[in-house]
Amino acid sequence: MATNGNPRQKRAIAALLAEPNVKAAAASAGVGYRTILRWLEDPIFRAALTQAEDQAIDSAVRLLAGAGADAVATMTAIMADVVNAPGVRLRAAGMVLDTLLKLRELRTLADRIQALEAIYATGDE
């Protein structure tokens, strides 16, 4: 069962992304609940749903990345503003440091994965 050109399945996928559960998605898409359950068992439909989920996540990541500079500026402004209570400034400073450490860990993991992939590609061990 291919989702290409099947408007009911396309509506169901959009509804599954937007609604909190399968029943609500079925109602929103105008498709039977059991029909969606059956479609969810189909590997082709499932793959189309997974692809749509991946695209939605990629879009959200791009939006978050765009807001990153503003978030950092907000945290650093709160941290530096002596008008704020010491606890608020301390929490902002902690958030900046936590974020920095997480980014460092991600970069280290990415570097390690890249090195392992290079070893795997060449067959060296």
Q: Which residue type, as a one-letter code, is found at position 113?
A: I
> Do residue 63 and residue 19 come from a single domain?
yes
> Do residue 20 and residue 54 come from a single domain?
yes
Is the residue at 12 inside a domain? Answer: yes
pLDDT tens readout for residues 59-95: 998 888 888 888 888 888 988 888 889 888 888 888 8
pLDDT tens readout for residues 23-52: 999 999 999 999 999 999 999 999 999 999
Is the residue at 72 inside a domain? Answer: no
> Do residue 49 and residue 1 come from a single domain?
yes
Instruction: Give the C-alpha separation, 80 to 70, whole Å.
Output: 15
Decide: residue 61, CB within 10 A, 0-12 exposed, 13-18 middle, 19+ buried.
exposed
Report the Cα 73 to chain-centroid distance in Å.
Answer: 23
Domain span including residue 98 = 81-125
Is the residue at 90 inside a domain? Answer: yes
> Do residue 43 and residue 102 come from a single domain?
no
Tell me how many domains the chain contains. Answer: 2
- Structure tokens, 94: 């902690």
Instruction: Give the C-alpha separation, 120 to 115, whole Å.
Output: 9
Q: What is the pTM of this model?
A: 0.64
> Do residue 88 and residue 54 come from a single domain?
no
